[in-house]
């Protein structure tokens, strides 16, 4: 069955045997271990003052490793489609990505280091990320500019300078929404900026360099909140780089290659985010149904009211549409490659968060005061961020519109 590409063999095959086994184990792990551990996690985080990793997470990591549910994004036997389906289970609990080492930004940073890292960079950083002994941050967006337009990102600069007989870069600039920067295990940051010449002129193209977390001149300015909620110890930070010197071999992939590396990193990441969003939406949808069966208003159980029935029916439609959009994009990546699947990826990135937010909004409404105070409120805040992260809606709307207009013009001889 062809889904979104009538002229291409895009179909949705079943899970491979290996993926099916992983899917079932993950389903049990998330349901029986991760979700029941969430309240304990919050309690332990509060008692430690965000200075260490809660013991309950360490226990979950140990179990995930014993079940071979570790680093699944690096498992070559899994297709994008297989992994997308598994992500729908991972996404049901915010602890699952951390417990299985599949969380952003580390998963993307691992892929970047695997593809573009030198042997030295891999030994210093990739091995630690893969075994979970260190964490990382990804520093791209800047507070002074609209960073969705990558051409604007350049307030952070890399200037060559020799120190103690060794050539390197002096890093200056400020980044924010640097996810993972405040994690106690964070050992390095991948920073995007622009090289400048000795005369002070910026060179064309973006570059990425690795900056150790303990580099002199690197300062965590503040932790950022999402709708007032602090995501510590994993959350987002504003980071200042003041004359941070790093050796020349800290450059990733070569000078001027930062934009290409960023795009190769963000494409798959968007689909991973979307499929985890489907899993979280599914959890909120189930909570809404449970609430509607338990509460009585105006003389009858909520489920018997037409407005509640509409919320449930429309929620199901949103959920399955979001799931299909994401699976089709993942399958297109398997068949057509990341570049060929760009329209599908952008469509998923535009529509999936919006549809899941619709489900969450109805779930909050169904829960009344409890909805804006508890976990549903936290989930809603995280999902609202997804409409901005990895390229805001407007960027992806432009991608789809331009590509569709070009296809129409080609079909009608206008090019």
The pTM of this model reads 0.91
pLDDT of residue 241: 98
The structural domains of the chain, ordered by start, are 17-131 (1.10.540.10), 135-252 (2.40.110.10), 259-411 (1.20.140.10)
Q: What is the pLDDT of residues 151-204, one digit of tens each?
A: 788 899 999 999 999 999 999 999 999 998 988 899 999 999 999 977 667 777
Residue ranges for the chain with pLDDT beneath 70: 1-10, 49-50, 199-200, 232-233, 267
Of 133, 74, 63, nearest to 96 (Cα)?
63
pLDDT of residue 38: 96
Q: What is the pLDDT of residues 323-361, one digit of tens each?
A: 999 999 999 999 999 889 999 999 999 999 999 999 999
What letter does residue 180 receive in the DSSP assignment? Answer: T
pLDDT of residue 270: 78
Of 406, 191, 362, 396, nearest to 273 (Cα)?
396
In angstroms, the Cα distances linking 372 to 35, 86, 254 are 20, 29, 47
- Please answer whether residues 117 and 170 qualify as being in contact, where contact means their C-beta atoms are separated by less than 8 angstroms: no
- Please answer whether residues 366 and 292 qualify as being in contact, where contact means their C-beta atoms are separated by less than 8 angstroms: yes
pLDDT of residue 1: 33
pLDDT of residue 252: 96
3-class state of residue 123 by DSSP: helix
């Amino acid at each position: 069955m062809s889904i979104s590409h009538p002229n291409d063999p895009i179909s949705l095959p079943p899970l491979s045997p290996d993926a099916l086994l992983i899917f079932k184990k993950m389903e049990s792990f998330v349901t029986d271990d991760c979700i029941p551990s969430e309240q304990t996690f919050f309690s332990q985080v509060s008692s430690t003052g965000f200075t260490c990793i809660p013991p309950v997470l360490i226990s979950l990591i140990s179990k995930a490793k014993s079940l071979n549910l570790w680093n699944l994004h690096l498992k070559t036997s899994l297709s994008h489609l297989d992994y997308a389906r598994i992500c729908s289970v991972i996404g049901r609990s915010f602890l699952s990505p951390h417990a299985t080492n599949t969380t952003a930004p580390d998963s993307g940073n691992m892929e970047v280091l695997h593809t573009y890292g030198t042997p030295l960079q891999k030994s210093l950083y990739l091995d630690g990320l893969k075994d979970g002994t260190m964490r990382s941050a990804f520093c791209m967006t800047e507070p002074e500019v609209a960073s969705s337009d990558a051409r604007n990102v350049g307030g952070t600069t890399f200037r060559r300078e020799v120190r103690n007989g060794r050539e390197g870069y002096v890093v200056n600039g400020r980044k924010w929404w640097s996810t993972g920067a405040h994690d106690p295990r964070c050992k390095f940051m991948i920073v995007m900026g622009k090289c400048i010449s000795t005369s002070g002129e910026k060179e064309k193209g973006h570059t990425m360099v690795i900056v150790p977390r303990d580099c002199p001149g690197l300062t965590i300015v503040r932790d950022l909140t999402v709708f007032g909620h602090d995501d510590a110890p994993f959350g987002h930070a504003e980071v200042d780089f003041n004359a941070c010197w790093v050796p020349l071999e800290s450059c990733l992939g070569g000078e001027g290659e930062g934009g290409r590396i960023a795009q190769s990193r963000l494409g798959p990441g968007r689909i991973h985010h979307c499929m985890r969003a489907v899993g979280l939406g599914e959890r909120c949808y189930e909570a809404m149904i449970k609430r509607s069966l338990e509460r009585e208003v105006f003389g009858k159980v909520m489920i018997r009211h037409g407005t509640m029935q509409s919320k449930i029916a429309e929620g199901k439609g949103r959920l399955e549409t979001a799931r299909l959009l994401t699976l089709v994009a993942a399958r297109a990546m398997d068949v057509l490659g990341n570049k060929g699947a760009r329209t599908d990826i952008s469509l998923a990135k535009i529509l999936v968060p919006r549809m899941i937010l619709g489900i969450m909004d109805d779930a909050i409404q169904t829960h009344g005061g409890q909805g804006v105070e508890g976990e549903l409120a936290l989930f809603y805040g995280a999902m609202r961020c997804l409409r901005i992260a990895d390229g805001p809606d407007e960027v992806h709307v432009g991608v789809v519109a331009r590509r569709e207009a070009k296809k129409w013009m080609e079909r009608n001889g206008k090019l």
